[in-house]
Amino acid sequence: MRFSSFLQPLARWSGRAGLALAGLALLPGCKFYDIWRMDGHQSTLVVDGPVARSQRDLFYVTCWVTLVIFILVGAVLAYATWKFKARNAADEHAEPPEQGHGNPLVEMGLIAGSVLALVIIAYPTLTSLWYTYDVPTEEKKDAYEITATGYQWWFKFEYPHEQINGAGALTASNELVIPAGRAVRVNLRTVDVIHSFWIPKLAGKVDMIPNRANFLWLKADQPGYFWGQCAEYCGDSHAVMRFRVVALGPKEFNEWLDSQLQGARSVAVKTAAAGQAKAQFAALRTFKTNEAGVTDKFEVAPLEAWRAKQFPEKNEDGALIAQGKALFTSKTCMACHTIRGHGAVGVTAPDLTHLGSRTTIAAGLLENNREQLQRWIHNPAAVKPGNKMAKGYIDNKISLTPEDEAALVAYLESLK
Ligand code: CUA
């Protein structure tokens, strides 16, 4: 009897300790340093824009109010537990003390306290709701408009005020370039299921709902590079439905627009580097299914990495690129993708006109480099389960030889 009464709490506590240890064991996977600083790529606590700042401040108010309540209630509970506990065998069998039937002062106090807590939380909540809902009136005139559309599992970004002769609005995919220091109003659409648009350091999250014209606004304090994520479960590859946001100063933003409005780049077939690239491709390794991507391992600051991407590679192999361009048509890639100026006008998949100038591929999942591009086109299903490109390979009986892959990658890389 004695022994088991000793064992029971021990079992209970060892269970809790086990859970705590399991939690600790998971921590290294979350990069302990980032947790400590609260400054990961998708931090909502260290933010870079007024909308996210308003959301964060509201979170803090709620946290502080609930912390005060927790401490008060916890203190009263601890006091009562200690004060009224059984102190000896006689206490254990004693009648319960005389029960009270309400204390008007305590009850009124509790009601007043609750109302006060609600008001303290409600005021900043409403203020924040109004502020984050739409672009403030004084900034409306200068606001920039973009339409973001969710697809399973990638994002399309259209610039309705940047029209291309005869080809509609400028369209980009998976990397949203915005003007820094300026309010941006984002129209949120979807072509299939519900997605949710979220850039933790800037703003969010608002759902993209079929047949409903949602929107949000955001602003980046200064030029920067930000991580975005679909925040509503939307199928197999929801967790890897990501995107990036690049905020640029006014001059650089206009330069970017000018370059994007151009059609796809063409490379002369005769270049000095012929043959070199093919040898490099032969040396690429193969990836395991579900092997992690390397999107976050930029060798320089991410914005600098993005800037470097805007220029063509030095040793382009014109002949290989031409071969890739022909394959893009013959392997039916052009049925789904657009490459403006190169005859590809598909609209069900990301626009690739300037693919080479993006830092990531596969919806912000993989770094945009030769190795990852080859990995992606070699077996898209292994990277992003359930995606339409993988199905397209099967439906259209597409098979690529290593040489085909090298040529396609060289072509895609050349699309600056
Ligand atoms: Cu789209 Cu989750």
Q: Is the beta carbon of 363 within 6 A of some atom in ligand 1?
A: no
Q: What is the DSSP string of 272-319?
A: TTTTHHHHHHHTPPP--TT----TT--SS-HHHHHHHTTS--SS--HH
Of the three residues 237, 259, 281, the one that is the final residue of a domain is 259
Ligand 1 midpoint to CA 407 (Å): 32
Is 3 within a domain? no
* Domain shared by 250 and 326, yes or no: no
Q: CATH number for the domain including 242?
A: 2.60.40.420
Tokens of 144: 């920039």
* Domain shared by 306 and 199, yes or no: no
Ligand 1 midpoint to CA 273 (Å): 42
Is 313 within a domain? yes
* Domain shared by 273 and 382, yes or no: yes
Q: How many domains does the chain have?
A: 3
Is 202 within a domain? yes
pLDDT digit string (tens) for the chain, length 416 residues: 444 454 555 555 655 666 666 665 555 555 555 556 678 888 999 999 999 999 999 999 999 999 999 999 999 999 999 988 888 888 888 888 788 888 899 999 999 999 999 999 999 999 999 999 999 999 999 999 999 999 999 999 999 999 988 778 999 999 999 999 999 999 999 999 999 999 999 998 999 999 999 999 999 999 999 999 999 999 999 999 999 999 999 999 999 999 999 998 888 886 555 566 666 666 666 666 556 665 666 777 889 989 999 998 888 888 899 999 999 999 989 999 999 999 888 999 999 999 999 999 999 988 898 888 999 999 899 888 899 998 999 998 888 998 999 999 999 999 99
Q: Which of 347, 307, 309, 310 is nearest to 156 (CA)?
A: 347
* Domain shared by 218 and 335, yes or no: no
Is 338 within a domain? yes
Tokens of 120: 């303290």
pLDDT tens for 24-48 read 555 555 555 555 667 888 899 999 9
* Domain shared by 232 and 365, yes or no: no
Could you tell me if 363 and 174 are in contact, meaning their C-beta atoms sit under 8 angstroms apart? yes
Ligand 1 midpoint to CA 40 (Å): 21
Cα 401 to Cα 385: distance, rounded to the nearest angstrom: 22
- pLDDT given at position 122: 95
- pLDDT given at position 8: 55
Is 88 within a domain? no
Tokens of 304: 């600098």
Residue nearest atom 1 of ligand 1, based on CA coordinates = 195
pLDDT tens for 304-332 read 989 999 998 888 888 899 999 999 999 98
Of the three residues 189, 224, 259, the one that is the final residue of a domain is 259
Burial 345-374 (b: 16+ CB within 10 A, else e): ebeebbbbbbbbbbbbbbbbbbbbbbbbbb
Cα 130 to Cα 192: distance, rounded to the nearest angstrom: 29
Could you tell me if 265 and 249 are in contact, meaning their C-beta atoms sit under 8 angstroms apart? no
* Domain shared by 252 and 275, yes or no: no
Cα 265 to Cα 341: distance, rounded to the nearest angstrom: 8
Is 164 within a domain? yes
Of the three residues 259, 290, 311, the one that is the final residue of a domain is 259
- pLDDT given at position 299: 72
Q: Is the beta carbon of 195 within 6 A of some atom in ligand 1?
A: yes
Q: Is the beta carbon of 153 within 6 A of some atom in ligand 1?
A: yes
Which strands sit side by side in the sheet containing 175-179, from one edge to the other?
Answer: 175-179, 242-248, 224-230, 195-199, 203-208
Cα 293 to Cα 100: distance, rounded to the nearest angstrom: 64
* Domain shared by 66 and 177, yes or no: no
* Domain shared by 237 and 281, yes or no: no
Q: Is the beta carbon of 238 within 6 A of some atom in ligand 1?
A: yes
* Domain shared by 173 and 106, yes or no: no
Ligand 1 midpoint to CA 149 (Å): 11
Domain housing 106: 42-81+97-133
* Domain shared by 73 and 151, yes or no: no
pLDDT tens for 363-411 read 998 889 888 899 999 989 988 889 999 899 999 888 899 899 999 999 9
Q: CATH number for the domain including 293?
A: 1.10.760.10
Place of tokens 């291309």: 164
Atom number in ligand 1 closest to CA 195? 1
* Domain shared by 191 and 273, yes or no: no
Is 279 within a domain? yes
- pLDDT given at position 87: 85
- pLDDT given at position 13: 60
Bridge partners, 297 (sequence order): none
* Domain shared by 204 and 102, yes or no: no
Is 13 within a domain? no
